[in-house]
Amino acid sequence: MRVSRLFVPMDLSSGALLSLDNESSHYVRTVLRLKKNDALCLFNGSGVEYSAEVYLVTRKLVQIQLGQAAERSVESPLILVFGLGIARGDRMDWAIQKAVELGVHSVTPLLTERTVIQLKDDKKQQRTDHWQKIMIHATEQCQRTVVPELTEIVTLEHWVPQQTGLKLFLDPYAELSLNDVQPIDNKVSLLSGPEGGFTENERERAQAAGFIPIRLGPRVLRSETAALAAISAVQMLWGDFAVLGR
């Protein structure tokens, strides 16, 4: 039987009895519907996970008894930094969720010239909190023990000069493909645009910062499709997807 996994942002140690916060308690009690003595797995993002059992479930309190610790990593050896132009609604949520499952090390939501939604300061924090929860749940589901970093929302102009490694941006009209490039220091910085793609000004800024335009085949892909196709291809060429074929 599959054991549920739960991320808890607190110190963990074998044998400890933990009282969960309100949000985690609600998740265990109402979403997972776990009862006393049910098994689960806890991790805090350090790369270590703990076997555990539900010790107590009440309307006001959920306690977990921790068991043995085990170091386990399913992280890709390729450091993949992902700059993602902010898309509307479910498209952004879906892209972030799948990027976590595919093994990115960090995600930065980017404001671009064709970003449709308006994000003032209070809205920025709300969206960041929302995306952070999506990343945590994706990490729980895909068996990772390290939650990828979600950095603050910034403009494309601010983000591109700070990146290192092999710097790529997705462009359906580019002449080069992934076969024409190689990672630098085992790191790839991948830039993907919003609906409508990048403006000519943004393309020039990215290239001035050392980003190489890359084309993914002969078809023009939707923004969320292109991003995840690129992550998958990069992992197959230089990351841990290739291990499956060896």
CATH number of the domain within which 42 lies: 2.40.240.20
Q: Could you give the dihedral angle defined by the CA atoms of residues 42, 46, 48 and 54, in that order, rounded to the nearest 10 degrees?
A: -10
Query: Of 14, 45, 71, which marks where a domain is finished?
Result: 71
Confidence of residue 2 (pLDDT cuts 50, 70, 90): confident
Res 243: pLDDT = 62
Please give the average per-residue pLDDT across 71-96, as a whole number: 92
Confidence of residue 1 (pLDDT cuts 50, 70, 90): low
Res 245: pLDDT = 46
Amino acid type, 103 = G
Query: Of 53, 71, 89, which marks where a domain is finished?
Result: 71
Instruction: Judge if 39 and 140 occupy the same domain.
Output: no
Domain total in the chain: 2
Instruction: Judge if 58 and 84 occupy the same domain.
Output: no
Question: Domain range holding 212?
Answer: 79-245
Res 6: pLDDT = 95
Res 244: pLDDT = 52
Query: Of 71, 89, 119, which marks where a domain is finished?
Result: 71
Instruction: Judge if 83 and 62 occupy the same domain.
Output: no
Question: What's the predicted TM-score (pTM) here?
Answer: 0.91
Q: What is the pLDDT of the chain when averaged over all its residues?
A: 92
Instruction: Judge if 125 and 240 occupy the same domain.
Output: yes
Instruction: Judge if 12 and 92 occupy the same domain.
Output: no
Over residues 155-191, the pLDDT tens digits come to 999 999 999 999 999 998 899 999 999 999 999 999 9
Instruction: Judge if 44 and 96 occupy the same domain.
Output: no
Using alpha carbons, select from 44, 85, 87 the residue that is nearest to residue 66: 44
Instruction: Judge if 33 and 100 occupy the same domain.
Output: no
Structure-token match 């910062």, residue found: 209
Instruction: Judge if 117 and 169 occupy the same domain.
Output: yes
Instruction: Judge if 87 and 38 occupy the same domain.
Output: no
Instruction: Judge if 225 and 178 occupy the same domain.
Output: yes
Using alpha carbons, select from 96, 100, 97, 74 the residue that is nearest to residue 86: 96
Q: Dihedral sign for Cα 68, 74, 75, 78, please.
A: positive
CATH number of the domain within which 86 lies: 3.40.1280.10
Over residues 24-52, the pLDDT tens digits come to 999 999 999 999 999 999 999 999 999 99
